[in-house]
Amino acid sequence: MSPSATAARSNPVTAAYTALSLEVRTMGLLNRTRLFYVGLFGALLVALGGAITGFVLLQDSWFQLLIAAALGIVFTQFAFLGHEASHRQIMKSGPANDHIGRILATFFVGISYSWWMNKHTRHHANPNKVGKDPDIEPDTFTFYEESAATRRGLMAWFTRRQGWFFFPLLLLEGINLHVASARGLFARGKVKGRALELTLLGVRFAAYLAVIFWALPLGMAFAFLGVQLAVFGVYMGASFAPNHIGMPIVPRDAKLDFLNKQVRTSRNVSGGWWMTVLLGGLNYQIEHHLFPSMPRPHLHRTRKLVIAHCEANDVPYVENSLPRAWGIVVAYLNRVGLAARHSFHCPVAGQLGR
């Protein structure tokens, strides 16, 4: 097909996104909702204060593990808020959002904001695209058959069963996130805010660990830390996993318009307002990818507009319940893993190419 014919075919969809974007702006759905975020931050501070109060009152009781679990949940909610700051959803000013995000992610959660920004920005630019999206780069798990086919030995055995291991190994994801982000700060080259973030991380972890190991017996302190990190890792991983895992993988040489690139590779999670609270707005993943700077309270209204535009332009819009989405993640990873013992064949490549 000639370039002009390709452009002609893409024009209707491109025009559809332009019209959708104009409608969203006209309805004020990109306007900031500062009171919402002030209230949310205040509620999280109250929850954190409650956990600290419980920690002080319980002293060296094994009920402290409930406090540890609560902290894992609270830290994840702070991470959701930091994610929104990184997308300029809270304030109009980019630097103001960066300041807020750096404090939330680095000091409250213990994860480098610069590391997250670098990784997540590349993901949004090319979701699920081989060689472009860092979230699908081969690591412990592999997300596409071309990568799985290269696995040998023990890793091949693991990869063929990787779906069953996915959620159990999220118990270690909290440690992995902390280590990976710290490693990113020590990487060669220029890292924006490196000194500040290292200081914030140092103060955060020094104070946190000092209090835990000073107030609790040694064994209980390690158990407390283990439970907190495990809950944080499972909550983070289980919240982000449904977003894209199991959705089409975009081949290296494929070119898609913005609407198709973002919608076809993303999945929403049904459940209404309570799911929005639970997942920090990540349940509206399609709308978030189409309008990354949109504040959380406006995503549900935008959903209806996006569905209408997708139906009009024959773009598949995928939405599943959370249990169904988790089941798809496990089944997809196992299906991809079978390529560890077979030659590579990508059924999605032809589909997306067309």
Residue 347 has pLDDT above 90, yes or no: no
Residue 157 has pLDDT above 90, yes or no: yes
Q: Would you place residue 105 in the very low, low, confident or very high pLDDT band (cuts 50, 70, 90)? A: very high
Please report, rounded to a whole number, the percentage of residues in the chain having pLDDT higher than 90: 87
Task: Enumerate residues 6+ apart whose C-beta is below 8 A from 43.
Answer: none
Residue 223 has pLDDT above 90, yes or no: yes
Residue 348 has pLDDT above 90, yes or no: no
- Name the residue ranges covered by the structural domains of the chain: 3-353
Residue 2 has pLDDT above 50, yes or no: no
Task: Enumerate residues 6+ apart whose C-beta is below 8 A from 319.
Answer: 267, 268, 269, 270
pLDDT at 7: 44
CA–CA separation, 269 and 84 (whole Å): 18
Mean pLDDT for all residues in the chain = 92
Which helix (H) or strand (E) element contains residue 320? Answer: strand 319-320
pLDDT at 188: 84
CA–CA separation, 213 and 57 (whole Å): 16
Residue 29 has pLDDT above 80, yes or no: yes
Residue 10 has pLDDT above 60, yes or no: no
Residue 47 has pLDDT above 80, yes or no: yes
Q: How buried is 288 (Cβ within 10 angstroms: 0-12 exposed, 13-18 middle, 19+ buried)? A: buried
Q: Would you place residue 178 in the very low, low, confident or very high pLDDT band (cuts 50, 70, 90)? A: very high
What pLDDT digit, counting tens, does each position of 257-303 carry? Answer: 999 999 999 999 999 999 999 999 999 999 999 999 999 999 999 99
Residue 353 has pLDDT above 80, yes or no: no
How many C-beta atoms surround the C-beta of residue 108 within 10 A?
Answer: 21
Opening angle at CA 294, ends 290 and 298, nearest 5: 105
pLDDT at 340: 79
The pair of three-digit structure tokens given for residue 193, joined into one six-digit string: 């805010």
pLDDT at 8: 40
Q: Would you place residue 346 in the very low, low, confident or very high pLDDT band (cuts 50, 70, 90)? A: low
CA–CA separation, 47 and 63 (whole Å): 17
Q: Which stretches within 103-193 are classed as H helix?
A: 113-125, 145-148, 153-159, 162-169, 173-185
Q: Would you place residue 233 in the very low, low, confident or very high pLDDT band (cuts 50, 70, 90)? A: very high
Residue 6 has pLDDT above 80, yes or no: no
Q: Would you place residue 11 in the very low, low, confident or very high pLDDT band (cuts 50, 70, 90)? A: low
Q: Would you place residue 189 in the very low, low, confident or very high pLDDT band (cuts 50, 70, 90)? A: confident
